[in-house]
Amino acid sequence: MATDMAAGSPESGVLSSLLASNRAGEFLARDRIRRFLPAAPVNQEQAGIGSALIEDLFLRHVHLKRCNTIGGLSESMALSYPIVERIFREVRNQRLLEVSGMIGDDYVFTLTNAGRTMAADRCRACQYAGPAPVSLSAYRQAILDQKPQVAVNRASLRLAFGDLVVTDKILDQLGPALVAQNSMFLYGPAGTGKTSLAERLLRVYDDQLVMPYAVEVDNQIIVLFDPAVHERVQVDMEDADPRWVVCHRPCVIVGGELIPSMLELRRDDSSGTYAPPVQMKANGGLLVIDDFGRQLISPRDLLNRWIVPLDRRVDYLSLNYGVRFQIPFEVMIVFATNLEPSELADEAFLRRIPNKILVDAVAPDVFDEIFRRVLVNFKMPCEDGAYEHLRKVCLERGGDLRPSYPRDMCQIIRAVKTYEEQPLGVGRVDLERAAELFFGSMEAGHSN
């Protein structure tokens, strides 16, 4: 039985309403952010990291970033002035610094020969010169305190997916999964919009996430903040700990490029820091495994790796010399696949993913609405009877009505019209020509 979901073009009115709703939510979110943003520590004990690590970071900032005042280092290291001043005095007493002047009440200094030698040695071990990390315990508590709490109903989901054609049946399957924050399978034939659905699930979150730039484990640094994944939100919070950043909840999407090493900590030998696994980057948000079953890592190996985290909401990672530690696994995983879930996993694993949502070919009225939206988006007029003819050629050549067909066919027609220097438009002849190019000699029911 076909589910009724399909990708379409954005509807400006729907998106405007969604943005307005999000803006209203941001005011409430600021109050929540204030609860989760720690106050700036004023001493090393409050910072939660060792003085040796802070000293190493101090020397690297002076050596690599050419910071030469206490105020400049305080800003660059994201530590309060008293903490940096104390380290400055300790390093100076070791004759690693020499003062060359003053700017107001602040010292201007440079490294001595011994200081440059030590800094260069520290840089060979690790070249990280970003904001100071937070402790592992502080990171754990922050993620647990900010577990996503989603309150949705059919109306709010319809608004969130307003630029797709989604029926109540799909919405009513997605809603409970989102409220419970349970992982899910979105499965069905290619071209039915599974990825489009998965990408928009993030819209149901109306709050932000407070997360650290980096985390310290056994004096090693895990660089957590990734601007390609974590979209920063500018929030003016005086006296907040600058080692933490406010972001939209993350959505990490991985496809065929997923390999086993991406599920574990990876040490970068050139920088001496660790890169987090994809599930740690996605903590507090979504992780979409697109085209599941087509990765280099086998489905069985991937599922076995996560069977405990999915059950207990904790994950275990290891530094490259064997130190093992625990982190929260507060991430909603969405498996989007063309394969049947039973072909990918055994009963023990499937039990841990209680939501299995079939995203199939669509009904004629849904297909026509998708076609209408595509025509509006492409600014392409059509002949009378084009809707019926598109359905006819797709059923004859493709075997069913998949949500991607209207867009795919119109893209081909637009390219042909541009090539032949003809005005844009969609007629029966255009649809036949596009179908010949798109479906080729594929048998009905076997198109991708």
Q: Model pTM?
A: 0.86
DSSP state of 240: B
CA atoms lying within 13 Å on the CB side of residue 16: 3
Residues 6+ apart with CB under 8 A from 251: 199, 201, 202, 229, 282, 285, 286, 287, 288
Give CA–CA dist 37/242, Å, rounded.
Answer: 9
Q: Has residue 35 got a pLDDT over 90?
A: no
Read off the pLDDT of residues 62-120 as tens digits, 9 standing for 90 and up: 999 888 999 999 999 999 999 999 999 999 999 999 999 999 999 999 999 999 999 99
Q: Which amino acid is at 192?
A: T
Q: How confident is the model at residue 350 (pLDDT cuts 50, 70, 90)?
A: confident
* Tokens describing residue 377: 């988006």
Q: Has residue 326 got a pLDDT over 60?
A: yes
> What confidence score (pLDDT) does residue 441 get?
60
Name the residue with higher pLDDT: 334 or 28: 334
Q: How many helices (H) does the chain have, and how many strands (E)?
A: 18, 18
Handedness of CA 399, 402, 408, 410 (dihedral sign): positive
Q: What average pLDDT score do residues 34-41 get?
A: 88
Read off the pLDDT of residues 192-220 as tens digits, 9 standing for 90 and up: 999 999 999 999 998 899 999 999 999 99
DSSP state of 39: B
Domain limits of the chain?
5-32+140-358, 50-130, 364-439
Please classify residue 432 by burial: count the beta carbons closer than 10 Å to its beta carbon, then call 0-12 exposed, 13-18 middle and 19+ buried: middle
Task: Give SS3 for 116.
Answer: helix
The answer regarding whether domain 364-439 maps to CATH 1.10.8.60 reads: yes
Q: What average pLDDT score do residues 239-261 get?
A: 94
Residue 251: how many other CB atoms lie within 10 Å: 21
Q: Has residue 26 got a pLDDT over 90?
A: no
Residue that has been written with the tokens 């071990």 in this structure: 125
Give CA–CA dist 344/408, Å, rounded.
Answer: 29
> What confidence score (pLDDT) does residue 442 get?
54
Instruction: Look at 217-231, 252-266, 289-303 and tell me which has the smallest mean pLDDT.
Output: 289-303
**What value does the mean pLDDT of the chain take?**
90
DSSP state of 60: H
Question: CB–CB of 73/110 below 8 Å?
Answer: no
Residue that has been written with the tokens 């190493």 in this structure: 56
Q: Has residue 182 got a pLDDT over 50?
A: yes
Q: Do domains 5-32+140-358 and 364-439 have the same CATH topology?
A: no
Strands 286-289 and 314-318: unpaired
Q: Has residue 15 got a pLDDT over 80?
A: no
> What confidence score (pLDDT) does residue 352 get?
85
From the list 435, 434, 384, the residue with the least C-alpha distance to 414 is 434
> What confidence score (pLDDT) does residue 241 get?
95
Q: Has residue 124 got a pLDDT over 80?
A: yes
Read off the pLDDT of residues 428-447 as tens digits, 9 standing for 90 and up: 999 999 999 999 865 544 44
Q: Please work out, in degrees rounded to the nearest 5, the angle formed at the alpha carbon of residue 36 by the alpha carbons of 326 and 284.
A: 50
Looking at domain 5-32+140-358, what is its CATH homologous superfamily? P-loop containing nucleotide triphosphate hydrolases (3.40.50.300)
Residue 100: how many other CB atoms lie within 10 Å: 10
50-130 maps to which CATH number? 1.10.10.10
* Tokens describing residue 124: 């060979």
Q: Which amino acid is at 390?
A: L
